[in-house]
Amino acid sequence: MNPNKALWEKGDFTRIAATMRASGDALMQRIGVTKGMKVLDLGCGDGTTALPAAKLGADVLGIDIAQNLVEAGNKRAADAGLTNIKFQEGDAANLAGLPDKSFDLVVSVFGAMFAPKPFDVAREMVRVTKPGGRIMMGNWIPNDPTLVAQILKISSAYTPPPPEGFVSPMTWGIENNVIERFTAAGVSVDKISFVRDTFIFNYSGTPSAFVDEFRKYYGPTMNAFEAAEKSGRAANLQKELEELFNAQNKSADPNRTSIPATFLRVSVSV
């Protein structure tokens, strides 16, 4: 089994995605998705950005490596009565079934960054984008002080080191790496731009209960807890994460959690 696929089919990412919907909606409006646009969403999960793009009238294909998330996305689309969107299984590093120059906009929000082989990912994104079209990636930033980078940083102290040659997904949050990957795919450097943007996680429960959602349902955190349990350090990991979530929570309501997280928004003109 492909370990990348196994990681994301583990648990149930839809539980975390459910806390990210408002920011997904706002982002698709902000980047100018319009009616009739052909949009590809890579690493789409259950459609946090793909569904709003379809609601704005775009013709959307969502691709994700996790079969359970593809099923969940197709169900959400059917429940919303949308006929201009389809989810299917696939790997962002190899879009063999998709013709060259077929999308106006390729979107990947915290998705393709998790695919191994980042140079292949950039090449495939560029290949399937129409001339005059664009690519928009949302990537978490290594060592950023906000939520997701800190979860991954804390968790990494409890997990065994990755295999040799492993390229961290977080390198997609470093501008020079992004430039290197897209220029290798034939894009000139002046066509690549960056802004810092924010996603807000909204959970209807306490910050500690939100940590439990990650512990039970988010593959990377589940793996960190499994490793921490083996070394007898699970309680320390729980404590560190609870401190983090409590410190970052901005909600005034004690029974709700609202945590903003900074990401690197990458725009590439093709």
Report the interface residues with ligand SAM, using CB under 6 A. 4, 8, 13, 17, 20, 42-45, 48-49, 63-66, 69, 91-93, 109-111, 114-115
CB of 113 to ligand SAM, least distance (A): 8
Least separation in angstroms between residue 44's CB and ligand SAM is 5
**String of b and e for 145-177 (b: at least 16 CB within 10 Å)?**
ebbbbbbbbbbeebbeeeeeeeeebbbbbbeeb
Sequence-distant (≥ 6) Cβ neighbours of residue 263 within 8 angstroms: 110, 138, 139, 140, 141, 148, 173, 196, 197, 198, 199
The smaller minimum CB distance to ligand SAM, of residues 109 and 170, is found at: 109
Q: Give whichever of 37 and 233 is closer to ligand SAM, judged by the CB atom.
A: 37
Question: 51 vs 237, which CB is nearer to ligand SAM?
Answer: 51
Instruction: Identify the CA nearest to 201 among candidates 48, 55, 71, 76.
Output: 48
Instruction: Give the Cα separation of 268 and 193 in Å (integer).
Output: 7
Nearest distance from C-beta of residue 38 to ligand SAM, angstroms: 18
Q: How many residues does the chain have?
A: 270
Nearer to ligand SAM by Cβ, of 18 and 236: the residue is 18
Taking the C-alpha atoms of residue 121 and residue 43, their distance in angstroms, rounded to an integer, is 11
Shortest distance, CB of residue 94 to ligand SAM, whole angstroms?
8
Q: What does the block give as tokens for 166?
A: 């492993």
For helices 234-248 and 207-217, angle between their N-to-C axes, nearest 10 degrees: 130
Give the 3-state secondary structure of residue 65. Answer: coil
Q: Which residue is nearest to ligand SAM (CB)?
A: 45
> Based on CB atoms, which residue is closest to ligand SAM, 97 or 232?
97
Residue indicated by tokens 């690549």: 192
Complex with ligand SAM: residue 195 or 252, whichever CB lies closer: 195
CB 220, min distance to ligand SAM, A: 9
Smallest distance, ligand SAM to C-beta of residue 66, A: 4
